[in-house]
Amino acid sequence: MASLDWIIIGVYFMIIVGIVWRSSKRQNTSTDYFLAGRDIGWFAVGASLFASNIGSEHIVGLAGSGAANGMAQAHWELHAWIMIMLAWVFVPFYHRAGVFTMPEFLEKRFDARSRWVLSIVSLIAYVLTKVSVTVYAGALVFKTLLPYTFGSPDNAFWVGAVTTVVLTGIYTIFGGLRAVVYTEVMQTGLLLIGSVLITFFGLEQLGGWDELKMILAENSDQFALWRPNSDTNFPWLGVMIASPIIGIWYWCTDQYIVQRTLSARSLKDARRGAIFGGFLKVWPVFIFLVPGMIGYALQVKGLLPIPTGEDGQVLGDMVFPTMVAHLLPVGLRGLVVGGLLSALMSSLASLFNSCATLFTVDIYEKLRPGREERELVRVGRIATGVVVGLGLIWIPIMKRISEGNAGLYDYLQNVQGFLAPPITAVFLLGIFSKRINSDGAFYGLIVGFFLGMFKLTVQTLTQSGAIDPGTFLGSIGTYNGYYFAGVLFLFSVILIVLLSYAGEAPSEAKVKGLTFSSLSDEDIKENRESWGWKEVVGSAVVLGLVLGVYLYFSFWL
């Protein structure tokens, strides 16, 4: 890192300070703090959706997955079509319900029990997975780019982790969602520019796209988009079952993401923002996965010194930081590091704000109803600070888990595959059928969550050697996680439907406007007036791009 690199990073942080300072002056009510006054335009909504999704764990972990597994993880990055579902299927219901959080929507559709379950599960999942994984990935960048600036690589890791968490926590505490969204608009540009530069300089160093294809073709099975069902890690059928289940949970029901559409100034802006976010979501395949494969090819040609493990395999999570350190000239390196920092901070800020919203709206306000707006804002800020502290405490554990795992991104998708199925089942059944009742939703969430955590625990113990793979529990631990996600989803659907039909149907007043079959003529009219030809064309473009990427990479090697 040269002086010019540090100057560029310093300018970036000064801009963030300015945005936070302006945003902090508009935090008088809980709506201001948690939903930016419900006054965000479609462009900012879309950019914020993209930037919230693309954290440092995405850049570092996805590039590492590209180097180790090729296009196998691309199915998760082509979830732009699910964002079209968010725009056309889910957003109208959330907007009509006027909710702050996803658990609040479940209470309106079912009852308070489902709200409590989803709130607690979401908070636990955020602290133990997203916060810690995001921080760990960002700290890896410091360890690689500034190994001896703070005495040793390990010191650089911890300085990077603590500094970014604390700084992000401060601007989230004072600026609220408005600061988060508007900094993410700027960060989206940095993310795209930085990753495109890595791709460009990597291909130039390698000798072009054809050279990349030629090197990868020597191990085409490893880098193919589609793997045979005999593949233990990415069987194509398991992937095609699990990725939509995870995608619908993440993009359409997770507070971390959906909160951006809730902050939109109108239903039209929320829908357009989701469609624009879908357009942006198409590109990570080219700017994160492809650089990982370029890094692998450069390593094969002896042009890039990526660290390897004891088995001689490339350490995937070190691919992107190593490319930044060795391929980019002075100045551009600072720009890309700024992009990495922005990815880390945007994801963390989104997580902190979402956690604060969940705790304040779904737990504190339920326990102490009728509190003043300023008190709710104060509690939200305190909750953000607590989440910052818990994230810091969990980093050492996350460091051990990640270093003993095949890669950050694979680890994250595996865990999410055990959390997502029951939540996806409850939301889909809840809006498509007015016959689903509160007992079905509550027990579907509870049983599904415990089954998912049971699988995660047994799998972890089996992989660590504590459970013999030849035993009954061992067979559960070694069962492919993607197939398990499908089995758990099907089980959850059956359980929810059986329990719902065994009990009383919800009243018409309870489900009014919250399911497709209970929409009034006014609801249908409002929905129709919120879109026109631009939304239709934008959706068609996104779907066409997804189809084009699938067709090209299905036959590219």
pLDDT, tens only, 96-112: 888 888 999 999 999 99
Residue 70: CA count within 13 A, CB half-sphere: 23
Interatomic CA distance for residues 282 and 550, integer angstroms: 11
Residue 159: CA count within 13 A, CB half-sphere: 15
pTM metric for this prediction: 0.85
**Long-range contact pairs involving 253-256 (C-beta distance under 8 Å, separation at least 24):** 253/90, 253/102, 253/423, 253/424, 253/427, 254/102, 254/122, 255/101, 255/102, 255/103, 255/122, 255/354, 255/357, 255/358, 256/52, 256/126, 256/130, 256/350, 256/351, 256/354
Give every CB contact of residue 226 below 8 A, 6+ residues apart in sequence. 236, 554
Q: How confident is the model at residue 189 (pLDDT cuts 50, 70, 90)?
A: confident
Amino acid letter at 500?
Answer: S
User: Taking the CA atoms of the chain, what radius of gyration do you get in angstroms?
Assistant: 23
| 370 secondary structure, DSSP code | T
Q: Which fold has domain 3-18+38-403?
A: Sodium/glucose cotransporter (1.20.1730)
So where are the chain's domains?
Answer: 3-18+38-403
Q: How confident is the model at residue 29 (pLDDT cuts 50, 70, 90)?
A: low
Q: Tens of pLDDT along 150-171?
A: 778 778 877 777 777 777 777 6
Q: How confident is the model at residue 57 (pLDDT cuts 50, 70, 90)?
A: low
Q: In terms of pLDDT, which residue wins out, 311 or 75?
A: 75
Specify the residue for token string 């919203």: 357
With 70 as the cut, is the pLDDT of residue 290 above it? yes
Interatomic CA distance for residues 410 and 184, integer angstroms: 25
Interatomic CA distance for residues 503 and 555, integer angstroms: 51
Backbone phi, then psi, for 264, in 5-degree steps?
-65, 150
Q: Which residue, 134, 51, 17, is CA-closest to 392?
A: 134
Give every CB contact of residue 491 below 8 A, 6+ residues apart in sequence. 421, 448, 451
Specify the residue for token string 């089995």: 487
Q: Tens of pLDDT along 60-97?
A: 777 888 888 889 888 988 999 999 999 999 999 999 88
**Tokens (6 digits) for 8:** 């560029």
Three-class DSSP labels, 441-466: HHHHHHHHHHHHHHHHHHHHHHHCCC
Q: Provide the pLDDT for residue 86.
A: 96
For 113, the enclosing helix (H) or strand (E) is helix 112-125
- Chain centroid offset of residue 539 CA: 21
